[in-house]
Amino acid sequence: MSKKTVILDAVRSPMGLKNGKMIGIRPDDLSAKVVKALLERNSGLPNKNIEDVVFGCAFPEGSQGMLLSRGVSILSEIPKEAAAKVVNRFCGSAMDAIHQVSQAIDSGDIDCGIGGGAEDMFGVPMGGFNPDFNPELYEKEYYIGMGETAENLASELNISREEQEEFAVDSHKKALNAAEKGLFENEIIPIDFNDEKISVDEGPREPDLDKIRSLSPAFDVDGTITPATSSPISIGASAALMVSEGLANKLGLEYEFKIVARSVAGVDWKMMGSGPIPATEKCLSKSGLTMDQIDVIELNEAFAAQSLYVIKKSGWDKSKINLNGGAIALGHPLGCSGSRIIATLMNVMKQQDSQYGLATMCIGTGQGIATIIERVK
């Protein structure tokens, strides 16, 4: 059988924010609801074929600890014979989970797996419950705050506060438009919690320009980055169902998407938001494609300054990027976002009748990750 990875489907939960309706739901329960729905809408694939469940999580402790993915697998009623593991590449964890399942399929180790991720940034704080810093790394500014790295990027390219605010407003407007037109419905799994059905993202809102302009800088008193131009703390889960092309054909499963190339790259941790640039360059080189051949892009919006830096430095066409809004509007639950943006990318590619799509993101500690997928039907 052909071992090339195809993605049968990818879905996500709504993204929940502070004081929202999803506060209090356990990440393992949330993830299981997403995975069960993913399997139910792909019932042509018997659960017995699933060989590995790989989940990303940036801070895998507390309610999202204890080998989160194995618990999710059991709660999702996947047979006990399926294995499971958790991977941690901070913001890129869920995309790395998809990469690892794809690598296992391409190598012939497995024929079917689930890759995804989850994060509850309210239940488990950034940094975890008991961070312990290495003195030498501390002196090297390895533990620099993400907001400070974004300020460094803004400073290098003189990205103004006004540019950042315009970018953030545009993210919200695109997300609101997508929600109003039902463009998220294919990727969002409604979540039943506390006697309510939650079916929309809690982040997108009509921008209040006066309030946005009145906000103080969040990370540097003389800086340009504010809460309005940063992705909000959030909770969410997402997952992708992948099989070998051979197994898909054997079982008569229809599919639209193939993984063309995967890559990771390292950068200066004080400029961590630049990570998508070398990761994308490596991905393009592996695929034999050029940026002109990429029809749509999902660039994770950790900060408006970070996204603008990548766009400006690389010369990317802004009209291809985050057509349904991005993380500034939707939220960025760290260990979930990598598979969330792949689910969104697949959705957008269908809507735009695209052939090639790129998903890429920066990663704390100075890394980038990228995935190119092809729509074949």
Average pLDDT taken over every residue of the chain: 97
Check if 283 is active-site.
no
Token pair of 201 as six digits? 């993202």
User: What is the model's pLDDT at position 3?
Assistant: 78
Token pair of 96 as six digits? 């790395």
What average pLDDT does the segment 270-280 reach? 98
- pLDDT tens-digit profile of 245-259? 999 999 999 999 999
User: What is the model's pLDDT at position 141?
Assistant: 97
- pLDDT tens-digit profile of 208-239? 999 999 999 999 999 999 999 999 999 999 99
- Domains of the chain, by residue range, sit at 5-123+233-251
Question: What CATH number belongs to 5-123+233-251?
Answer: 3.40.47.10
With pLDDT > 70 as the criterion, what percentage of the chain qualifies? Answer: 99
Pairing of strands 83-87, 52-56: parallel
| CA 172 – CA 180 distance, rounded (Å) | 12
pTM: 0.98
- What lies within 8 Å, CB to CB, of 346 at 6+ separation is 7, 10, 187, 256, 257, 357, 373, 375
Has residue 162 got a pLDDT over 70? yes
What average pLDDT does the segment 80-107 reach? 98
| CA 164 – CA 64 distance, rounded (Å) | 33
State how far the alpha carbon of 361 is from the alpha carbons of 31, 96, 153, 302, in Å.
22, 11, 15, 8
The residue annotated as part of the active site, out of 112, 283, 332, 336, is 332
Token pair of 67 as six digits? 């080998």
The H or E element that residue 184 is part of is: none
The residue annotated as part of the active site, out of 57, 112, 283, 362, is 362
Pairing of strands 196-198, 83-87: unpaired
Check if 362 is active-site.
yes
What average pLDDT does the segment 278-299 reach? 98
Provide the pLDDT confidence category of residue 319 given band limits of 50, 70 and 90. Answer: very high
User: What is the model's pLDDT at position 1?
Assistant: 53
For residue 288, how far is the Cα from the chain centroid?
24
The residue annotated as part of the active site, out of 91, 112, 283, 336, is 91
| Residue 86 φ then ψ, to 5° | -115, 135
What average pLDDT does the segment 289-309 reach? 98
| CA 275 – CA 256 distance, rounded (Å) | 29
Has residue 2 got a pLDDT over 80? no
With pLDDT > 90 as the criterion, what percentage of the chain qualifies? Answer: 99
User: What is the model's pLDDT at position 7?
Assistant: 98
User: What is the model's pLDDT at position 94?
Assistant: 98
Let me know: does 328 contact 231? Beta carbons within 8 Å: yes
- pLDDT tens-digit profile of 10-48? 999 999 999 999 999 999 999 999 999 999 999 999 999
DSSP 273: G
- pLDDT tens-digit profile of 167-220? 999 999 999 999 999 999 999 999 999 999 999 999 999 999 999 999 999 999
Per-position DSSP letters for 80-112, written without gaps between them:
TTSEEEEE--GGGHHHHHHHHHHHHHHHTS-SE
Residue 31, class by beta-carbon neighbours within 10 Å (0-12 exposed, 13-18 middle, 19+ buried)? buried
Provide the pLDDT confidence category of residue 333 given band limits of 50, 70 and 90. Answer: very high
What average pLDDT does the segment 274-286 reach? 98
Per-position DSSP letters for 301-315, written without gaps between them:
-SBHHHHHHHHHHHT
